[in-house]
């Protein structure tokens, strides 16, 4: 039997929602403040996956200007009613204080790559919405509901209300169907119907080490729901030796051969600090059904496994993507994303200088409104990132370069800038917990294009540079702790993942574009 090796989607792919349409499997994952919103992956065998769609690619579908890090798109739900794909998603505008300020939407498309409709507004009472299509054709919208009142359970439970696409939103009365278990933090609801029962699958225990998948069932959609007597179905809590930690937020799928699988998020801690610098990732576990109709991990126990049996399906390998992205196409390669808004003129262009990515610097890496950057996920503990940069600043408030970036709170930046005495210089900027430092003095640079490199051998990161015509990399004499680019390292509640980014900043009125020839990402053996 073929094997599935977890995580199937490494590096910042949390909150998976899995669905099968015929012979095709699709998984949608959260993207938070990164744009386009939601990544959808496709597979024919549950072993090999390719990026198939990025549906929230228009401003009319997703407005995130100003949202703080770890806000934006939370926990999408992808479903199919036999005719259309439906995508339900939250846009969280804020999570500070007692309230979550959130809007929930529904869009649909006839094909996974669109075109996707304009959004239908659903509600704003909580996050993690999902859509269940019942056998009678009716559709039901679910989400966790918040209760910010003092002394109340902030995660008050799961509510359900009928959704009517033609009517343009929710209809009828809202009903509380589940108030959760003692694990708490009940969220991420999905409903499945099997052999006369409605199964309600929820995430519980919070987003960190105590995360879990809980299951309850009822012969009636409206409940009451009976909790699995062996709940939770999946968790790595109290399994510190498990390679996959933080296991939770699950969704079910049945393969064509009748086997069942649970898609869930997980994370892989590194070293003594147990920091998960690749973020929360997506994994699959094989499910068996007990004699009394409850889902159980194949092989027993509750802890996730790195290797599980694949379904009996024909292998469907996917060609690997290129290690080096050259900017000679009219659109950004799909593996690249921007922050909070689309890649567009005047700050970004692939046309002004043929074969180059041009970035016009805007605000600093602290800003939540105007960033001039493109990035790709860090998906390996050992890898390099590299670029060739043509940039001629004439002021110290003009910078551009290559960075390892988690959010506005933590980043490591190799930047080309200007010094009044030395002219063009190379600067190493370290931002840890919003505290900026420069551990090395600025270094003068020769005239011409400059290659920049980041070498990650987790948790250590080292930067290097070289003239464009040289293979003689000049490594900076300092090793940086890249584990700071993780959920656990921050002082605030956060849960995204690390990126390598190409970026530019300019706090002057002079037009000093930064031109990047390529963006290479090469895993180390």
What digits encode the pLDDT tens for the residues 460-497? 999 999 999 998 999 999 999 999 999 999 767 789 99
370, 449, 457, 488: the catalytic one is: 370
- The confidence score (pLDDT) of residue 203 equals 98
Q: Is 370 a catalytic residue?
A: yes
Worst-scoring range by mean pLDDT, 130-144, 240-254, 486-500? 486-500
Residue 79, CB half-sphere, CA atoms under 13 Å: how many? 22
The residues spanned by each domain of the chain are: 3-309, 324-523
Fold of 324-523: Jelly Rolls (2.60.120)
- The confidence score (pLDDT) of residue 403 equals 98
**Which residue in 14, 77, 25 sits closest to 311, CA to CA?**
25
Residues 422 and 63: their CA atoms lie apart, in Å, by: 42
Is domain 3-309 in CATH 2.40.50.100, yes or no? no
Residues 6+ apart with CB under 8 A from 258: none
Task: Read off the pLDDT of each residue in 262-277 and give the average, rounded to a whole number.
Answer: 95
**Which residue in 427, 421, 468 sits closest to 446, CA to CA?**
468
Q: Which residues of 416-445 are buried (b: 16+ CB within 10 A; e: fewer)?
A: bbbbeeeebbbbbbbbbeeeeeeeeebeeb
Task: Read off the pLDDT of each residue in 408-420 and give the average, rounded to a whole number.
Answer: 97
Answer whether residue 209 shows pLDDT above 80.
Answer: yes
Answer whether residue 319 shows pLDDT above 80.
Answer: yes
Question: In the numeric block, which tokens belong to residue 218?
Answer: 């009822």
- The confidence score (pLDDT) of residue 21 equals 98
Q: Mean of the per-residue pLDDT values for the chain?
A: 97
C-alpha angle 343/347/349, rounded to 5°? 65
């Amino acid at each position: 039997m073929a094997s599935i090796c977890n995580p199937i989607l490494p590096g910042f792919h949390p909150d998976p929602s899995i669905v099968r349409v015929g012979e095709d499997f699709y998984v949608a994952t959260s993207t938070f403040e990164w744009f386009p919103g939601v990544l959808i992956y496709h597979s024919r065998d549950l072993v090999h996956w390719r990026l198939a769609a990025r549906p929230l690619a228009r401003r009319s579908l997703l407005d995130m200007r100003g949202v703080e890090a770890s806000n934006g798109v939370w926990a999408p739900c992808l479903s199919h009613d036999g005719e259309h794909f439906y995508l339900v998603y939250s846009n969280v505008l804020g999570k500070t204080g007692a309230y979550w300020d959130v809007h929930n939407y529904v869009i649909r498309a006839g094909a996974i790559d669109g075109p996707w409709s304009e959004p239908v507004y659903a509600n704003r009472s909580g996050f993690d919405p999902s859509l269940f299509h019942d056998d009678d054709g009716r559709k039901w919208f679910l989400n966790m509901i918040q209760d910010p009142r003092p002394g109340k359970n902030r995660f008050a439970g799961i509510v359900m209300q009928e959704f009517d696409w033609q009517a343009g939103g929710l209809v009828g009365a809202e009903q509380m169907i589940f108030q959760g278990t003692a694990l708490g933090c009940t969220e991420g609801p999905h409903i499945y119907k099997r052999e006369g029962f409605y199964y309600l699958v929820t995430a519980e225990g919070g987003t960190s080490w105590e995360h879990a998948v809980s299951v309850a069932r009822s012969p009636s959609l409206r409940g009451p729901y009976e909790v699995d007597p062996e709940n939770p179905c999946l968790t790595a809590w109290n399994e510190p030796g498990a390679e996959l930690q933080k296991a939770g937020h699950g969704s079910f799928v049945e393969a064509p051969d009748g086997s069942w699988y649970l898609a869930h998020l997980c994370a892989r801690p590194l070293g003594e600090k147990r920091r998960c610098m690749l973020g929360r990732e997506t994994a699959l576990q094989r499910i068996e059904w007990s004699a009394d109709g409850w889902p159980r991990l194949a092989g027993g126990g509750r802890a996730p496994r790195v290797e599980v049996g694949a379904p009996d399906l024909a292998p469907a390998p996917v060609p690997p993507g290129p290690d080096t992205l050259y900017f000679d196409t009219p659109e950004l390669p799909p593996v690249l994303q921007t922050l909070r808004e689309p890649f567009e003129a005047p700050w970004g262009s692939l046309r002004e200088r043929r074969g180059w990515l041009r970035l016009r610097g805007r605000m600093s890496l602290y800003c939540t409104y105007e960033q001039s950057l493109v990035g790709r996920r860090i998906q390996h503990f050992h890898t390099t990132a590299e670029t060739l940069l043509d940039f001629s600043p004439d002021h110290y408030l003009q910078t551009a370069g290559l960075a390892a970036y988690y959010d506005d709170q933590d980043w490591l930046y190799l930047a080309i800038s200007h010094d009044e005495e030395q002219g063009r210089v190379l600067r190493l900027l370290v931002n840890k917990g919003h505290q900026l430092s420069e551990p090395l003095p600025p270094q003068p640079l020769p005239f011409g294009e400059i290659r920049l490199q980041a070498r990650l051998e987790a948790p250590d990161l080292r930067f290097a540079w070289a003239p464009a015509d040289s293979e003689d990399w000049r490594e900076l004499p300092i090793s940086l702790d890249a584990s700071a680019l993780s959920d656990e390292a921050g002082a605030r509640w956060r849960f995204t993942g690390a990126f390598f980014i190409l970026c530019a900043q300019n706090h002057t009125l002079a037009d000093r574009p930064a031109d990047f020839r390529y963006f290479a990402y090469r895993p180390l053996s």
